[in-house]
Amino acid sequence: MSNIPFIDLKTQQKRLGTKINDAISKVLEHGAYIMGPEIAELETKLAEFCEAKHAMGCSSGTDALLMPLMAENVGRGDAVFVPAFTFVASAEAIVLAGATPVFVDVLPDTFNISPASLKTAIKEVESFGLKPRGIISVDLFGQPVDHEAILAIAKENNLFVISDAAQSFGSSWNGKKTGSICDYTATSFFPAKPLGCYGDGGAVFTQSEEKLAIMKSIRVHGEGSDRYENVRIGINGRLDSIQAAVLLQKLSIFDDELQARDRIAKRYNELLKDVAEVPVVTENTFSAWAQYTLKVNNRDEVVAKIKEQNVPVAVYYPIPLGQQKGYKNYPCVSGGIPVCEALSNEVMSLPMHPYIDENTQDRIVEAVKKAIG
């Protein structure tokens, strides 16, 4: 029996035929390897795709979080609220910008930031000697957060919102595409993401021309009117032309791939709803399904039994960020993060990509059922 890939990039590559090679060849011909003409074309198409005013390509999803934080001038003594159940980069960017991440809990059904826990953390943060400045709301596994609740809390407390959409580009909420909703939206084009390139890459979306101009300067070492005038502290946050060329080709089939992910996720739900807690997608939300994640009892045992049947399975994330060695000295909301802790013992993700055929999906489902017993 053939091996089942967790993510299948080869089938996607075959589908695009020679288009990717041709696009890369064009970059080799014109030789503008960094910030070549593909960048502006990609930025226009990305902004159009998600109905954002502005898109800015950049070096990674991590830098896509860092640059808005730098544009907001966060620093020592500033608190930025972030869920503890996420990939480390969501909090890492806050520390790199010189501010303090304050960990809050998540909701047990969507795995996204809990508005109640966020409110508690905002109220008490000044007693930790910190000034509340912003929120990084993470669309975990592809599903947008409850933006209505989070944006209302932000407005009430005069906080900026950076949507960490590393896993959710292509999703939508209440008829709005991710990228068009918050002050800033950061995404990642890491190869395994719903829209991925063949290396590192990312993008920031914003509705503000002023913030865009600041972030464009930060992207190139804080440049002013030319690259040897440095008006602020910046980074090397540029995107390579070859990655943009690859993304332009993949973007042409992205909508179709998103529909396929949704169909596959719904079929998993149907087939697995009687044996495990299947993912919950809230009303008026379209997930990009970066991951298909179940909650099960005796998770580690179940994972081992699935792997024994040659089916790949992954655990995102086994340790909440507030308990990671590198992050345990940063503050956590009072009352702690019990939901993050419970989830880190219960979750497991199954293969998810747009090219899973029904036979393969049946094999995966059978392996899960057998493992759960």
Ligand X SMILES: Cc1ncc(COP(=O)(O)O)c(C=O)c1O
What is d(CA 337, CA 105) in angstroms, rounded to the nearest whole number? 5
Q: Which residue's entry shows tokens 């996720």?
A: 265
Q: Is the dihedral of CA 212, 87, 188, 231 positive or negative?
A: positive
Q: Which residues 40-69 are close enough to bind ligand X by CB under 6 A?
A: 60-62
- 86 binding ligand X? (CB under 6 A): yes
Instruction: Name the 3-class secondary structure at 249.
Output: helix
Q: Which residues 176-205 are close enough to bind ligand X by CB under 6 A?
A: 188, 190, 200, 202
Q: Cβ closer to ligand X: 204 or 278?
A: 204
Name which position in 27, 130, 162, 166 contacts ligand X (CB under 6 A).
Answer: 166
Window contacting ligand X (CB under 6 A); options: 35-43, 74-82, 160-168, 273-281: 160-168
What is d(CA 165, CA 145) in angstroms, rounded to the nearest whole number? 10
Alpha-helical runs (H) found in the chain: 9-15, 19-30, 37-50, 61-71, 89-96, 115-124, 147-156, 209-219, 241-251, 254-272, 299-308, 338-346, 358-372
Q: How many residues bind ligand X (CB under 6 A)?
A: 15
Least Å from the CB of residue 133 to ligand X: 19
Name which position in 38, 72, 146, 164 contacts ligand X (CB under 6 A).
Answer: 164
Window contacting ligand X (CB under 6 A); options: 4-12, 164-172, 177-185, 240-248: 164-172
Q: Cβ closer to ligand X: 197 or 368?
A: 197
Least Å from the CB of residue 70 to ligand X: 15
How many Cα atoms sit within 13 Å of 344 on the Cβ side? 19
Q: Cβ closer to ligand X: 138 or 337?
A: 138
Q: How far is CA 127 from CA 102, 105, 122, 298, 323, in A?
A: 13, 19, 10, 39, 21
Name which position in 38, 50, 56, 90 contacts ligand X (CB under 6 A).
Answer: 90
- 103 binding ligand X? (CB under 6 A): no
Least Å from the CB of residue 319 to ligand X: 15
Least Å from the CB of residue 205 to ligand X: 14
Q: Which residues 221-240 are close enough to bind ligand X by CB under 6 A?
A: none
Q: Cβ closer to ligand X: 113 or 339?
A: 113
What is d(CA 326, CA 320) in angstroms, rounded to the nearest whole number? 12
Alpha-helical runs (H) found in 97-143: 115-124
Q: Cβ closer to ligand X: 194 or 331?
A: 194
DSSP assignment string, 135-179: EEEE-GGG----HHHHHHHHHHTT-EEEEE-TTTTT-EETTEETT
Window contacting ligand X (CB under 6 A); options: 162-170, 257-265, 294-302, 354-362: 162-170
- 87 binding ligand X? (CB under 6 A): yes
- Please say whether the beta carbons of 122 and 81 come within 8 A: yes
Instruction: Name the 3-class secondary structure at 36.
Output: coil
- 137 binding ligand X? (CB under 6 A): no
Name which position in 4, 47, 71, 89 contacts ligand X (CB under 6 A).
Answer: 89
Window contacting ligand X (CB under 6 A); options: 86-94, 101-109, 177-185, 292-300: 86-94
- For ligand X, the nearest residue by Cβ is 61
What is d(CA 24, CA 250) in angstroms, rounded to the nearest whole number? 13
Q: Which residue's entry shows tokens 């993060």?
A: 337
Least Å from the CB of residue 366 to ligand X: 29
Residues lying near ligand X in the complex (CB under 6 A): 60-62, 86-87, 89-90, 138, 164, 166-167, 188, 190, 200, 202
